Structure 1
Amino acid sequence: MSKKIIRRAQVATAHLPDTLPEIIKQIYASRGMKSAQELELNVARLQGMTDDTALMGMDKACQLLHQALLSKTAIVIVGDFDADGATSTALMMIALSLFGSNHHDFIVPNRFEYGYGLTPEIVDIAAQQQAQMIITVDNGISCIAGVKRAKDLGMQVIVTDHHLPGHTLPIADAIVNPNQVGCNFPSKALAGVGVAFYLMLGLRKYCRERNYFSEQGIAEPNIAQLLDLVALGTVADVVSLDANNRILVDQGLKRIRAGQTRPGIQALIEIANKNQQRLVASDFGFAIAPRINAAGRLDDMSYGINCLLATDLSTARVMAAELDDLNKTRREIEQGMQVEAERVMNSVDLVGGLNQESEDKPLPFAIALYQKDWHQGVIGIVAGRLKEKCHRPCIIFANASDDSEQGDNAEIKGSARSIPGLHIRDLLEHIDSQNPGLILKFGGHAMAAGLSIKQKDFTQFKQQFNELAEKWLKPEDLASIILSDGELSADLLTLEFAEQLREAGPWGQNFPEPLFDDTFTIVQQRIVGEKHLKIVVQKDTAQGKQVFDGIAFNVDVKAWPNAQAKQVHLAYRLDVNEFRGKRTVQLMIEDIRVV
């Protein structure tokens, strides 16, 4: 669907330092930056603004972990099968070793066998490994049955999570989650890896106060060395880059650029053909995290975790290469599913006769699609792609297992992605409360969630999903809008300013990278890589004609190249292209339309 470009309103900038260019001040202020202090992305400010003791449950969790270290308790870490879960697991594995533990291991549920989180089946596997304590990372807050099973078997359980809790909490020995009711921790946007990081900060303080390190004869660990993992997991999980998360990401990036990162991350940067010294936050989300995620989507996330845990670069490179191959396979599956999903969306009755968008047949308020041969490992990506294309909340379902004998009683799993204006987890909770038994289980955030239903109930769920979305969404919520920072003067279309914008980050969720719009004259245009438009455009300035390279990914190859087009209006990000050691300005095109 077509998008509308709206320029951000000019806002007051007097509260920001005069040493900054006015356009940078305007960009910051329009994203809600309220003081010069928020520019200070250092560890001292991080610790000052978010004291780890403010995390509810921290003291109890540290007490249990301190005692576990002293008694050499067998600990099993149970993670999640995405990049946040992988970095959380790796962080906890490394940190416990720094605290002197030799009795810890990890389990990551295979999504195709056990599903998400601490299930009773995963607890039984931990019990076979003689686990005495389970620590969840990036999951656990909704794992009522799994925690109960662990307690019934006599295990201690510490839940660390950031997902929104339901009405009932698990009966864990300690819960550390900034989003649990009563928690005063100011940064509610922490990713799972951020929660794990703060727990380790709290544990170090707790152990220091009890002379643990001196008595055990070990050095007090430098928890900051884990910030590369924190930065990667935080960006990968697309959590809001509030002031606290911006510091975490910035500090992690600085360590990586300085060469202070673990072999696994270095190998992933290499295989993605990124420059480690010039890495930016978006590289985490678009280049590194997808390769880690591919392991959990198609195979076993423990492979991605072991890559992060690799202690030498040669081993890490072998693992990174295999993750790269998995990612290529993931892309092929995803592309096929996306084409099929769009075909279904355009030809099949979605809800009450609504299908392909037109004046008399608009799109439904919410889209739910299911096909038995779709791969559950990539349904979240496809849901996200369709959400972007249609600007509607989308849920893509796939079979939960290969067992087709169950027929209509078979369980299907859905991955949901939403748009601003509709809290997808709240919507699922409302459907669940009004239709007991329709949803077997669910969980998630405002913008993303997961759920399971019976195959026979798909039609009923799809109808409920669309009807409730229609009630909750306002017409303006359905307008696909590109927010622009306006026209960029020709004297700023330079390599120097592009570098300045990169350094002004990190950019990410709810602190978006600057985007500009303007009209240009086309000089050249061609398709590369099957569906990407490589374009050269020209801008008339007081200094004469200036020419710029641009690229637009995943264009409609039926519309481009367009020999009739002479001028185009572009919405673009100013970036730096590196090729054979040469650095040039490049326009990363978000939207292109003929003038």
Structure 2
Amino acid sequence: MHNIQTRAVPPDACATLVRGGYSPLLARLYAARGIAQPEELADGLGALLPWQTLKNIRPMAARLADAIARQERILVVADYDADGATACSVAIKGLSAMGATVDFLVPNRFEYGYGLTPQIVELAATRRPDIILTVDNGIASVDGVDAAKRLGIETLITDHHLPGSQLPDALIVNPNQPGCDFASRHLAGVGVMFYVLMALRAELRERQHFADGAEPNLGELLDLVALGTVADVVRLDQNNRILVGNGLKRMRAGRMSAGVAALFQVAGRAAHKANTFDLGFTLGPRLNAAGRLDDMSLGIACLLASSSESAMGLARQLDELNRERRHIEAGMREEALADLSDIDPQSRYTLTLFREDWHQGVVGIVAARLKERFHRPAIVFAPGDGEEVRGSGRSIAGFHLRDALDLVYKRQPELIVKFGGHAMAAGLTIRQAALGTFREAFESVARELLDEKQLTRTIETDGALPPQDISLELAESLAACVWGQGFPSPTFYNRFQVLKQRVVGEKHLKLRLASRGREFDAMLFNYADWLPDEIEAVYQLVANEWQGRKELQIYVEHWRAAADEMLEG
């Protein structure tokens, strides 16, 4: 069951944006997304939030500057997802450009799990670092920092995840740590590292480190910052939109790293028209495939590649891993749906599933698919170490997943070995024997925090478009904007006559639609049954490029027979 809802448009904000020079349609779209003043849409790097407002960033910059002066060995310890990989690459490139002696280590998720654990510290110690610098992890690594300290290794933490009740005894830069006044809580891990480099460059300027004029241009790292930010699905507030938008400009202009260019090529996407969809749904998954099935060192090596030839070889390996990941995911998804066939998912507030043969690296994606299909918080488990199982969860709006797990833990501490994450995604480890008890405890918490309205999917649209406004030019104009998590790409809602329809690729519908005398080509993906003669459709406008020609297409996302109950397309 779905509700269709038109986003509210504050009239005063809309009028202000029109006076600021925006078209009535763009003003409407931006106002509906919380923009009230034209300056909130400033996209130049000069409009970034000042790095000085990040807690501890000055002392961290000073410590890194000291390390460069003393030629101390810095070892970057990264997370094994796309955010961690891009953050690691930004750290390696940026620190190296400023004269640091730097290397990296990324945990294999199957051997070491997440974060700076004592086991990872032991492995890191074999590299004989003076400093461990974490990227996209570390805020919960109390034991790991203590282990490093016992070995005489200093730890610097850059992270963006929510802290637990105890912070590690280390210098921390994290916009979500207590006492941080940074105006955005939504920086990705790669964004935090980029800010640290800005502070470090400023510190080195004061020390006249760049007296020979060889000051690095940090803008050259923005393609990696954009990729990691979008792939990590953080909210695209103004600060993140600036980072992403400037990274996309570099990609479109062909001024990107060899690794990012190679990922575009193996994905069959055109970098000259790069958008957030490319980053989140084609490049990001290929990068993530390394951490899910193999070792993220492969992904980092691709991003750090110095030549197109070496980058392409690594990108092809990532592409092959992604194909394998999709195959594994499809099998697990079908098995999960089979397991759910014995129950009514709509009768439950949560979905918690486990099989002995499921792949630990793919559980998060399967949880996301189940969440999308049933609009329920979902956690999928796979075998872990010994008698433990490891799970990954995805949530819906209004249900903070990490806080829900924290509530389960506080009530029944014996159920959860460890957990972490944020509102929409989290990971946890439990004993396999406790799986049934955990399932019911998690369900109980959800029933306290959710209601039936929240469990009904609401599809938000930007209302109807006059048919005369539906054009290739509008599609291209919208594609040039930065849309994403928390700043969703525009969707519209109109009634159409279905003039023609045929199945293509065995599972998609190619359509010819009409509205008020105008006709449009359209696609409905992953749906191969016949549509009625008249539908009401939620859709996006797409500038489709085929054999050198651009043409307008309507991508139908949801539809219903006119005046009938909404069905998902």
TM-score, normalised by the number of residues in structure 1: 0.92
How many residue pairs get aligned? The number is 559
Q: Is the 8 A contact 2:536 2:559 kept in 1?
A: yes
Within 5 A, what are the aligned runs for 1:55-454?
A: 55-101=54-100, 103-172=101-170, 174-214=171-211, 217=212, 219-347=214-342, 355-357=343-345, 362-401=346-385, 406=386, 410-454=387-431
In the alignment, what sits opposite 1:525? 501
Q: Is the 8 A contact 2:495 2:515 kept in 1?
A: no
Deviation at 1:494, TM superposition (A): 0.7
In the alignment, what sits opposite 2:37? 35
Structure 2 unaligned spans of 5+: 563-569
Q: Are 2:435 and 1:458 equivalent residues in the alignment?
A: yes
Secondary structure of the residue that 1:376 maps to in structure 2? Answer: coil
In the alignment, what sits opposite 2:565? none
In the alignment, what sits opposite 2:486? 510
What one-letter code is carried by the residue in structure 2 that aligns with 1:57?
N
- % same residue: 45
Q: Is the 8 A contact 2:491 2:540 kept in 1?
A: yes
Q: Are 2:62 and 1:54 equivalent residues in the alignment?
A: no
Decide whether aligned partners of structure 1 residues 64 and 10 sit closer, same or farther in structure 2, where only a CA change above 3 A counts: closer
Deviations 1:21-59 (A, max 9, x none): 21110110010002100121001111xxx1111111111
Deviation at 1:517, TM superposition (A): 1.2
Q: Are 2:551 and 1:551 equivalent residues in the alignment?
A: no
Secondary structure of the residue that 1:372 maps to in structure 2? Answer: coil
Deviation at 1:547, TM superposition (A): 2.5
Q: Is the 8 A contact 1:550 1:589 kept in 2?
A: yes
Q: Is the 8 A contact 1:119 1:143 kept in 2?
A: yes
Deviation at 1:525, TM superposition (A): 2.7
Q: Is the 8 A contact 1:41 1:246 kept in 2?
A: yes
What one-letter code is carried by the residue in structure 1 that aligns with 2:160?
H
For 2:454 and 2:287, locate their aligned partners in 1 and report how far apart those are by CA, in whole Å.
Answer: 33
For 2:469 and 2:250, locate their aligned partners in 1 and report how far apart those are by CA, in whole Å.
Answer: 29
In the alignment, what sits opposite 2:529? 561
In the alignment, what sits opposite 1:351? none
Q: Is the 8 A contact 1:17 1:36 kept in 2?
A: no
What one-letter code is carried by the residue in structure 2 that aligns with 1:392?
R
Decide whether aligned partners of structure 1 residues 389 and 248 sit closer, same or farther in structure 2, where only a CA change above 3 A counts: same
Deviation at 1:255, TM superposition (A): 1.0
RMSD value over aligned CA atoms?
1.3
Deviation at 1:218, TM superposition (A): 6.2
In the alignment, what sits opposite 2:9? 10
For 1:60 and 1:372, locate their aligned partners in 2 and report how far apart those are by CA, in whole Å.
Answer: 48
What one-letter code is carried by the residue in structure 2 that aligns with 1:519?
R
Q: Is the 8 A contact 1:100 1:218 kept in 2?
A: no
For 1:38 and 1:31, locate their aligned partners in 2 and report how far apart those are by CA, in whole Å.
Answer: 11
Runs of 4+ in 1 over 6 A off after TM superposition: none
For 2:494 and 2:535, locate their aligned partners in 1 and report how far apart those are by CA, in whole Å.
Answer: 8
Deviation at 1:363, TM superposition (A): 2.7
Q: Is the 8 A contact 2:109 2:291 kept in 1?
A: yes
Secondary structure of the residue that 1:29 maps to in structure 2? Answer: helix
For 1:222 and 1:581, locate their aligned partners in 2 and report how far apart those are by CA, in whole Å.
Answer: 35
Deviation at 1:501, TM superposition (A): 1.1
Structure 1 unaligned spans of 5+: 348-354
Q: Is the 8 A contact 1:87 1:305 kept in 2?
A: yes
What one-letter code is carried by the residue in structure 2 that aligns with 1:106?
F
Decide whether aligned partners of structure 1 residues 181 and 106 sit closer, same or farther in structure 2, where only a CA change above 3 A counts: same
Q: Is the 8 A contact 2:498 2:514 kept in 1?
A: no
For 1:182 and 1:314, locate their aligned partners in 2 and report how far apart those are by CA, in whole Å.
Answer: 46
For 2:490 and 2:276, locate their aligned partners in 1 and report how far apart those are by CA, in whole Å.
Answer: 13
For 2:208 and 2:318, locate their aligned partners in 1 and report how far apart those are by CA, in whole Å.
Answer: 42
Q: Are 2:536 and 1:539 equivalent residues in the alignment?
A: no
Deviation at 1:530, TM superposition (A): 4.2
What one-letter code is carried by the residue in structure 1 that aligns with 2:494?
D
